[in-house]
Structure 1
Amino acid sequence: MNFVHQDPEWNDLLGIVASATRRQIAFVEKDYWVTHVLWALDAQGFAIWFKGGTSLSKGFSLIERFSEDLDLRLDAGRVPGLTNPTLPWDDKNKRRRELGTAERDVWFDALNATVDIPGCTIRRNPLGSDDRVRSAWLEVLYPILHAELLPADMRPFVLLEVGQARIVPSVERSLSSWVHDHLTSHGQLDGFVDNRPTAVRCVHPMVTCLEKLEAIARKFDKGKAAADFVRHYEDAAHIVELRESLPPLEDGLANLVTRLDGEDRKPMPASSHAAFHPGEGHRWQELEAAWSAIGPMYWGPRMSLAEATAVLRKFLDELFTR
């Protein structure tokens, strides 16, 4: 049995789905490959935890923005011949820290050599690792047909950002793509390999929301490029607005805030922070320009920075008065 992308009419199918969903054909194509990559990792036996913008759109339907990168934690799971790193990822002991750095470098090279995505090739990008090798970028190159139609800033491959970030609490979700949804609705998927992951552990969106709020304030203060964090405003605001529809947090929101502050060193900013008060200065002109620049990544209605910051200020006020 073949995969959908091996069908002779694959490109025609992409066009049909793009027309039916009113989405850019290059987005439809890449959305399929993102789903295929997650399925392949799960099928190979890796233990997967999925977070970030793509999990918000594919796992919870909270945002209508194409987030092309997969922010993952990958453990060896059932994959033969792989052993997880054992030394701490953060260590104050210099000698042990050096050993841990070397161990993780070997681990990420082993991941790069072991990950098997049918129809794709994998390469490790050294720019994805800091001096302690606490993360890695694995680029999954798929047989792209519509690279020229991707927005200028979108990569013509699926990027796996593999690290050791917070993964609890998480929620198991089944994931699909626009192509799979179309075939299923027309009763046409039975003749193909069903390459949809059925139980991916997605980090709870409130973790992502709080981390995005902390990142907004920190990057705003440090003068980081607006393009690095402007998407966080809308993402976090959408999570806040739809939080009642989310699975409950077992330990409650207040405990999660405390753990992020104490364990992850990610304190929540106050609603009075300048990052949540749009103005006329150069910093906000930069943010507005960056907000406009990522417009092609969205397929649904957008929230202005003024609207998003109003939602976030109200949420932060409520957070500190609980």
Structure 2
Amino acid sequence: MPKFIHELSDAKALFETLGAEKNVLPLVIEKDYWVMHCLWGLQQKGFEFELKGGTSLSKGWRCIDRFSEDIDIRFEPSEGLNLTGEKRAHIEARFEFYDAVAKEIEIPGIAVERNRAFDDAKARNGGVSLKFDSYFNPLPELKPEVLLEIGFVRTAPNEPKDFSSWALERTLQANVDVIDNRARAVKCFNPEYTFVDNSKRFAKGSVSIGIGTKTETVHASLCGITMISTSCWSSSG
């Protein structure tokens, strides 16, 4: 019976070898694998979802050269769920939706926890931590989990993209019999619309530069604009 890569006796050595070749930490190689595995697991469970943000741009569209360890995701909301209402009942219903999603998730090798530290006070976002047993000691700059950043912002128009990982690609090239846990046809928000959304965020935040945490928000949006514009259209003439 084939196994998952993370179940192989030489999985750690594989992550270390690829890390040395690519001049990145083995932890990054390992987590790149788990991001793919988690998306595959969600598909196997029958979830309908769409992606936007860094993971969509880097692993889906391959539009930016940046490792993204969290997943900005939109699950199909339950019927009748008010996505924007600010009444107490609306907010509580959205929190209950996030709780229900966490309870439904089952992925081999993953421990699921509801992560309320990511929650927005008005339930516009909700967090779910997908925790895995790492072969390496943790680092403060890299989370020991894949964080699902669940929300209801627009993710259309989108296109289906396949998600793989460095570890799986190398293993398949070596003709090792493992479970193929690539996530196929994941709906990813079109990058040009990400550019538009980030531009709007920058425009809104620019009036408040230097006040509170606005500086960080504006800087992040501007970085996103720069990365997307130079990567996606630099060869378009």
Question: What TM-score do you get using the length of structure 1 for normalisation?
Answer: 0.66
What do residues 139-188 of structure 1 show as CA deviations (whole Å, max 9, x unaligned)?
1111112243x3x3332211100011101100100111111121233333
The SS at the match of 1:173 is strand
Aligned-pair distance for 1:49?
A: 0.2
- Residues 1:71 and 2:72 aligned together: yes
- Which gives a bigger RCO, structure 1 or 2 (Cα 8 Å, sep 6+)? 2
Q: Quick one: percent identity of the two aligned structures?
A: 29
Q: Structure 2: which amino acid aligns with 1:136?
A: G
RMSD: 2.1
Q: 1:221 to 1:157 in 2, by over 3 A?
A: farther
1:57-93 C-alpha deviation (Å, 9 max, x unpaired): 10111212221110001127xxxxxxx151321237x
Confirm or deny that 1:17 pairs with 2:18.
yes
Question: Are the counterparts in 1 of residues 54 and 68 from structure 2 also a CA contact under 8 Å?
Answer: yes
For residue 186 of structure 2, the aligned residue among 165, 190, 200 is: 200
Say how many residue pairs are matched: 231
The CA distance in 2 between the partners of 1:238 and 1:30, in whole Å, is 22
Structure 2 gap ranges (5+):
none
Give the unaligned 5+ runs of structure 1: 77-83, 247-322
Q: Report 1:27-176 matches (<5 A).
A: 27-75=28-76, 84-91=78-85, 97-148=87-138, 150=139, 152-176=140-164
- Structure with max Cα Rg: 1
Distance 1:103 1:234 in 2: 34
Provide the C-alpha distance between the structure 2 equivalents of 1:106 and 1:206, rounded to a whole number of angstroms.
33
How far is the alpha carbon of 1:100 from its aligned partner?
A: 2.0
Q: 1:74 to 1:226 in 2, by over 3 A?
A: same
Larger fraction in strand: 2
Correspondence list, 1:175-194, <5 A = 175-188=163-176, 191-194=177-180
C-alpha distance in 2, partners of 1:232/1:90?
23
- Where 1:181 maps in the other structure, the secondary structure is helix
Residues 226, 177 of structure 1: CA spacing in aligned structure 2 closer, same or farther, 3 A cutoff?
farther
Deviation at 1:132, TM superposition (A): 2.6
**Corresponding position of 1:235:** 224
TM-score by length of 2: 0.88
